[in-house]
């Protein structure tokens, strides 16, 4: 029983790290990556559709993104969606593709983005601690209901704490890697 609870905790903590990693991929670093556009939704025939489902997105150069829609009639709609997003990028349309030049970030903007990264990393750590708290409650309930002994409860609690510590370190590493990427000139 306690093994199932610990497996559930590990699974949820892994998902937290994956969500944080995906979330941080959307933060602009001055380097073009198709992941920058993952959050953009385009009004495609009345339905908000992810950009990567209606167009091919590539990064042929370090600071250039090229968006090639499968239906050329939606080029203006894609442009509007990019302009509305908080990316701060200006699209240029040549009738076939949209080009996005990713400008070099100023030092001030880099510092602001590092603050955003730190907030998201802290939110990830809190999510991991919340998983620990929930699983600890499950284990306490099992111990209270006499389904597991006090010794097994304490061992499971120690294993849960070690698991939590390991994932907190992993979240910190993900955040530090993103900070290093942001501060790299």
Here the CATH number for the domain that contains residue 96 is 3.30.1360.40
pTM: 0.70
Q: Give the pLDDT of residue 30.
A: 67
Residues 178 and 114 occupy one common structural domain: yes
Residues 67 and 115 occupy one common structural domain: no
Taking CA atoms, 22 is separated from 121, 138, 144, 149, 174, in Å, by: 12, 29, 39, 40, 10
Residues 133 and 86 occupy one common structural domain: no
Here the CATH number for the domain that contains residue 157 is 1.10.132.20
Structure tokens at 127: 């999510």
Q: Give the pLDDT of residue 62.
A: 80
pLDDT tens digits, 102-139: 877 788 878 888 888 999 999 999 999 999 999 999 98
pLDDT tens digits, 52-108: 888 888 888 888 889 998 888 888 888 888 888 777 778 888 888 899 888 777 888
Residues 92 and 114 occupy one common structural domain: no
Q: Mean pLDDT, the chain, as a whole number? A: 87
Residues 78 and 58 occupy one common structural domain: yes
3-state secondary structure of 48: strand
Q: In this structure, are residues 30 and 104 in contact, taking their beta carbons and an 8 Å threshold?
A: yes
């Amino acid at each position: 029983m306690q093994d199932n609870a610990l497996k559930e905790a590990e699974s949820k903590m892994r998902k937290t790290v994956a969500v944080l990693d995906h979330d941080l991929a959307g933060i602009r670093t001055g380097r073009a990556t198709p992941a920058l556009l993952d959050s953009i939704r385009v009004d495609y025939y009345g339905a908000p559709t992810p950009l990567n489902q209606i167009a091919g997105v590539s990064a042929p150069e370090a600071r250039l993104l090229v968006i090639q829609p499968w239906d050329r009639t939606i080029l203006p709609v894609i442009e509007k969606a990019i302009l509305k997003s908080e990316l701060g990028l200006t699209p240029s349309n040549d009738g076939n593709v949209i080009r996005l030049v990713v400008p070099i970030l100023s030092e001030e903007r880099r510092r602001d983005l590092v603050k955003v990264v730190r907030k998201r990393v802290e939110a990830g750590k809190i999510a991991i601690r919340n998983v620990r708290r929930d699983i600890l409650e499950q284990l306490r309930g099992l111990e209270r209901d006499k389904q597991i002994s006090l010794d097994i409860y304490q061992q499971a609690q120690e294993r849960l704490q070690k698991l939590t510590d390991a994932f907190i370190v992993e979240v910190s590493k993900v955040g530090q890697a993103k900070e290093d990427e942001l501060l790299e000139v």
